Amino acid sequence: MPLLPGEATLGVLGGGQLGRMFVQAAQSLGYTCVVLDPDAASPAGAVAQAHLKADYLDAAALAQLAQRCHAITTEFENVPARALDSLAATRTVAPAGRAVAVCQDRAREKAHFVASGVPCAPYAVLRSTADLAGVSDELLPGILKTARLGYDGKGQRRVTDRTQLALAFQELGGVECVLEQMLPLALELSVLVVRGADGQAVTYPVQQNLHRDGILAVTEVPAPDVPQALQAQARQSAVAIAQGLSYVGVLCVEFFVLKDGRLVVNEMAPRPHNSGHYTMNACDVSQFEMQVRAMTGLPLREPRLHSPVVMLNLLGDLWFTAEGEERTPDWAGVLALPGASLHLYGKAQARVGRKMGHLNLTGATPEAARESARQACALLGLPQQW
């Protein structure tokens, strides 16, 4: 039986902006929400009905969360999987700890892609300096990534030869790493797949993404440069990856399109994702409401894109001039633009590189959405992309 709106309480491990938007979506449906996060000023904790200020492995706090909630989710991939396993002993937990654990480990993640029949970049797992000698020449030049705890470009080094590889492995602390062959990339895209406990899976439209310095900067939907056949392949691959994990919830799968037109999977995130923020204003059901639906057993329907859209990620850089002086971005000018919807995350202090919000710009046509995005970039001082 589904957990019905107005009758159930939902829990979230993690208090960041993704948790905040999940809580807001759940509350709009009539659910009560409890957040567990150690930060007293967490964005999600500020809007939830209750905030348990404790470590994610605090046994008493986990017991209280389980006692107060009917179902529990996580809003970031590095939450300890054993915390999810502990909660799952008495409560519905989605996604499950075992699925999150695969996403937390690049070596296991790559193995899962291969097992799912989805091509990824050629790679090798390096667990010690002894493994360096066995690296195939074909993997160089490559990208060395820590197997765990890397995100937004962190924990990565580009290497062109064996000398650089040995130095990079040392710089990354000699921890387990994955070396991926560097491939000629044409563009990046991602797919949101939503899977229920009954195995039903639906996908959102393919999202074309642009990253700057390893951080997502722009998402466009419909994906302007991705052929329909490749979009269908990406959506089918994302479903296969989710099914192989017996995943429940929203899963984001990121892909590369190579210059020769091939599609390879890059990585996945066991949660709603930055590249899916456009769904809040351009689709008939957002990725956050879909997370609620999946974990509560409510119906999953194929989401509908009703407006072309450009999403701009807003980093803390916008709150400072080129000279480093604090400023307030021109929100009045931005909100006067056609199709503009601003989402700020309630973070008290802006810092360079910190994710502070996002801006969705919808239009009747893709070009109309891009024109609004051009004007927004000019007002905010963001690089022009179109």
10-residue block means of pLDDT along the chain (386 residues)?
Answer: 96 98 98 97 97 97 98 93 95 97 96 98 95 93 90 80 94 94 97 98 98 94 98 98 98 98 97 98 98 98 97 97 93 98 96 96 98 98 89
SS3 label, residue 212: strand
Closest CA to 247 of 183, 184, 202: 202
pTM of the predicted protein model: 0.95
Say if residue 219 is in the same domain as residue 260. Answer: yes
- The answer to the question of residue 177 being in a domain is yes
Burial class (CB in 10 A: 0-12, 13-18, 19+), 258: middle
Domain harbouring 59, CATH code? 3.40.50.20
51-66 pLDDT tens trace = 999 999 999 999 999 9
Domain harbouring 375, CATH code? 3.30.470.20
Res 52: pLDDT: 98
Say if residue 226 is in the same domain as residue 298. Answer: yes
334-362 pLDDT tens trace = 999 999 999 999 998 999 999 999 999 99
Range of the domain at 75: 9-93
Say if residue 280 is in the same domain as residue 342. Answer: yes
Say if residue 217 is in the same domain as residue 361. Answer: yes
Res 150: pLDDT: 65
| 385 within 8 A of 210, measured Cβ to Cβ | yes
- The answer to the question of residue 385 being in a domain is no
Structural domain count, the chain: 3
Res 153: pLDDT: 59
Which of residues 160, 181, 202 is at a domain's end? 181
Say if residue 211 is in the same domain as residue 358. Answer: yes
Measure the CA–CA gap between 204 and 191, rounded to whole angstroms: 7
Say if residue 171 is in the same domain as residue 191. Answer: no
Question: What single letter denotes the amino acid at residue 346?
Answer: G
**Which residues are part of a known binding site for ATP?**
106, 145, 150-156, 180-183, 188, 211, 266-267
Say if residue 170 is in the same domain as residue 287. Answer: no
- Name the DSSP letter for residue 5: T
Say if residue 211 is in the same domain as residue 176. Answer: no
Which of residues 162, 181, 200 is at a domain's end? 181
Burial code of 163-181, b = ≥16 C-beta within 10 A, e = fewer? ebbeebbeebeeebbbbbb
- The answer to the question of residue 45 being in a domain is yes
Say if residue 360 is in the same domain as residue 213. Answer: yes
Which residue(s) pair with 193 in the sheet?
Answer: 203, 251
**Which residues are part of a known binding site?**
106, 145, 150-156, 180-183, 188, 211, 266-267
- The answer to the question of residue 145 being in a domain is yes
Cβ neighbours around 57 below 10 Å, total = 12
- The answer to the question of residue 105 being in a domain is no
Say if residue 128 is in the same domain as residue 255. Answer: no
Res 142: pLDDT: 96
Say if residue 135 is in the same domain as residue 217. Answer: no
Say if residue 245 is in the same domain as residue 304. Answer: yes
Res 155: pLDDT: 83
